[in-house]
């Protein structure tokens, strides 16, 4: 009888493993990878837009390919009005990160990256809609360093 308990526990573990595997195809745990970079020495990204599916885990890698400029990528919870607000908050927050401590309006953000730097961040894609992303280094958003993330249903 003493051997029965470990066998019973193994059966439970196997059933749990099969249940998890069955759920894997239904979207739970699915993920999407996005790669984006600065556009040379321009105040711009190499992508003006990208699309991700709602609810998925997004792994985003941002590379600052500039040899002189500092850049980041900050995805905000809304359009240009929210981006402008976050840009202002970032300037008030100051160096080195130019990022407000209050993340209420921010979905995800990298650190401020020096020339040649890169960072990978993960976040969950929000509700379907469009969300502006920008660089919060002073004057870069005003200079056009922005784009749109579309979240598909
Ligand atoms: Cu920038």
Strand order in the sheet with 129-134: 49-53, 146-152, 129-134, 74-76, 106-109
How, if at all, do strands 49-53 and 146-152 pair? parallel
Whole-prediction pTM: 0.81
* Closest of 48, 43, 38, 64 to residue 119, by C-alpha: 64
Kindly give the distance from the C-alpha atom of residue 39 to the centroid of ligand 1, in angstroms, as a whole number. 10
Chain position carrying tokens 């941002």? 62
Kindly give the distance from the C-alpha atom of residue 150 to the centroid of ligand 1, in angstroms, as a whole number. 21
Kindly give the distance from the C-alpha atom of residue 45 to the centroid of ligand 1, in angstroms, as a whole number. 9
Return per-residue pLDDT of the chain as tens, 153 residues. 455 555 545 454 544 444 444 444 344 568 999 999 999 999 999 999 999 999 999 999 999 999 999 999 999 999 999 999 999 999 999 999 999 999 999 999 999 999 999 999 999 999 999 999 999 999 999 999 999 999 999
Kindly give the distance from the C-alpha atom of residue 136 to the centroid of ligand 1, in angstroms, as a whole number. 6
Q: What is the DSSP letter of 127?
A: S
Kindly give the distance from the C-alpha atom of residue 25 to the centroid of ligand 1, in angstroms, as a whole number. 39
């Amino acid at each position: 009888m003493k051997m029965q308990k470990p066998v019973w526990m193994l059966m439970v573990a196997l059933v749990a493993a099969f249940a998890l595997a069955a759920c894997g195809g239904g979207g739970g745990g699915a993920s999407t990878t996005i790669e984006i970079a600065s556009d040379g020495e321009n105040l711009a990204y190499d992508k003006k837009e990208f699309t991700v599916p709602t609810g998925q885990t997004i792994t985003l890698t941002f590379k600052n390919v500039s040899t002189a400029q500092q850049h980041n990528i900050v995805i905000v919870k809304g359009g240009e009005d929210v981006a402008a607000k976050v840009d202002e908050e970032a300037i008030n927050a100051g160096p080195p990160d130019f990022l407000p401590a209050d993340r209420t309006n921010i979905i995800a953000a990298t650190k401020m990256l020096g020339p040649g730097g890169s960072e990978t961040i993960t976040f969950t894609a929000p509700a379907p809609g469009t969300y502006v992303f920008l660089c919060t280094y002073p004057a870069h958003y005003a200079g056009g360093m922005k784009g749109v993330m579309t979240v598909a249903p």
